[in-house]
Chains A and B, each alone.
Chain A
């Protein structure tokens, strides 16, 4: 259940309408916030997937 909730939340967070029309603040002085958000989102996806494969690995398939 927690896994479904996490995956659904990540999917919803992709639709970041809150940074739609903003370029500032510039992260590290040059990355527009909309781009920096999605770069951070990519890292967050990796962290969530690490949790998923650790907790819900289909060992029965081995």
Chain B
């Protein structure tokens, strides 16, 4: 029960942060509520922006992925992000900040509307962005319910846990707005950064040192491949470098870029971002890998056995049994199990709070959706003009409540697997939307029709992959099912990990086709280019200082 108490104390702390943020609010206008008055300082900007990028998937999914796939996880997801996300902040985030400051933009869609002189196409972009974001919020509520049930040993049922987590997130976003969300994200990031080092030290001591664990894994043919990348093709590995392009295209990250008080604050964020990635991901991945040697922890031994049974099973394995084995072998809680096995109760309790912080990382997404709804829909369709800014902020708060309650109700009724599927390809969807930002900020010749083509293509591609994966069940690990072959070449293939196109993740063709569509359609509709006045707002100061 002590871990559950620590988690409840943690929830009380984050709620208090939201209430405190409300008390320090300066004026209560829309810019103050949705963007913290564009006043975040350097440390909060760095830690909250980084925290907004770290979802439950990043923390728990990283160690789970490493448990099943080995050290390759770090190269796939962390080191590529450590280069590409700060570069996108440097090239795009700084420009978003400057345009937001100069023209008062509060969302990326406002900028797109201004840049391409369009109205309803902006609404289409809003709709696609929103649809890609909602599953994350539902997943967070599910994760909260599951975590509270787990740390309380079942005393807090799933539906109560989900309700408590929903209320807490709703509370600090409702009251604190962007300021509250940024402060909570900062607190959570500090928790992650502290926890990684402590967990590594304690688990290393518990296991009798990592050297022996790694040597033992190298000696076993079943675990040795986890310490190399021999099970993955270099082409598949390469295709993962397209995923971090999604970061800057996520609306909550774009909106976070508008909150810094000074452009100068991006400098430290860009330089330190890779170091924060290293501090959180290296321990997560390494612990996930060495969990394969912790066979003296019964829960981990059961997972390893289930995985071995799954690998040994032939095609005759009944689908129900296959799903059951997959669930048993799932590694999302391996760090929890490692700490339970090797760490004292106080650390296990702190871990519960850190896990809760990870699954609650949907706060900035809820606030972003609220900001987008009030700015891109309510204000755009003249709501603010008719009812005033106070009503606009209240609408934003009401939207937070409606969205959270809807996410909770969906979480109670719909199986998680559907949302796992949705989030699996939301990253690809946002990477495919990234050419919108690049074209808007760097190419005078882009048009609103090019933007529409990119958006419609992205929505269609994500929907097609989701439908394909729900129709064609995942084969056993190591096997693959060709879906489309041309002249003896497998073009689209279904594997246990997902779908590939010519051996690449779908994100690669999606992003390339998206970029081509922007170029071709914009050239075909050159007459729809915005007037000189609009272009001057974006391209008169494009030269960098040397």
Contacts and interface: CB of A to CB of B under 8 A. Distances in A.
Same assembly: yes
Interface of A: 7, 10-11, 14-17, 19-24, 26, 29-32, 34-35, 38-39, 41-43, 45-46, 49-50, 52-53, 55-62
Nearest to B102: A61
Contact of B87 (A7, A16, A31): A7
Contacts of B266: 53
Given A21-B230, A50-B271, 12 more contacts: A10-B83, A14-B80, A20-B230, A20-B234, A29-B211, A32-B71, A38-B74, A41-B83, A53-B270, A57-B267, A60-B545, A61-B95
B278 A39 contact: yes
**Centre residue among A26, A43, A53, A56 by max chain B CB count within 10 A:** A53
A30 B274 CA distance: 22
Given A20-B230, A23-B218, A38 B79 contact: yes
B98 interface: yes
A34 B230 CA distance: 11
B471 to A, nearest CB: 33
B237 interface: yes
A26 B230 CA distance: 17
B325 interface: no
Task: Give 10 nearest A-B pairs by CB, closest first.
Answer: A30-B210, A23-B227, A61-B98, A46-B274, A35-B71, A38-B79, A32-B227, A59-B545, A42-B82, A45-B83
B87 A49 contact: yes
Interface in B197-214: 209-211, 213-214
A32 B70 CA distance: 11
Contacts of A15: 234, 237-238
A interface: dominant SS: helix
B97 interface: yes
Given A21-B228, A23-B218, A14 B75 contact: yes
A61 B211 CA distance: 50
Contact of A60 (B237, B264, B273, B544): B544
A52 B282 CA distance: 25
B272 to A, nearest CB: 7
B285 A35 contact: yes
B286 A35 contact: yes
A60 B234 contact: no
Contact of B82 (A16, A26, A45, A55): A45
B94 A61 contact: yes
A52 to B, nearest CB: 7
A44 to B, nearest CB: 9
**Centre residue among B83, B213, B237, B273 by max chain A CB count within 10 A:** B83
A49 B271 contact: yes
A23 B86 contact: no
Given A39-B282, A60-B541, A61-B97, A53 B90 contact: yes
Interface in B253-303: 262-264, 266-267, 270-275, 277-278, 282, 285-286
Contacts of B544: 56-58, 60
Contacts of B546: 55-56
23 contacts: A14-B80, A21-B228, A21-B229, A22-B228, A23-B228, A34-B75, A35-B71, A38-B79, A39-B278, A41-B79, A42-B277, A45-B79, A49-B87, A49-B270, A57-B545, A58-B94, A58-B545, A59-B545, A60-B541, A60-B545, A61-B95, A62-B98, A62-B262
B75 A43 contact: no
Contacts of A39: 74, 79, 278, 282
Contacts of A53: 90, 266-267, 270-271
B78 A38 contact: yes
A43 B275 contact: yes
B515 interface: no
B234 A17 contact: yes
A58 to B, nearest CB: 5
Given A23-B224, A23-B228, A38 B275 contact: no
A62 B277 CA distance: 28
Interface in B42-84: 71-72, 74-75, 78-80, 82-83
B241 A30 contact: no
B278 A42 contact: yes
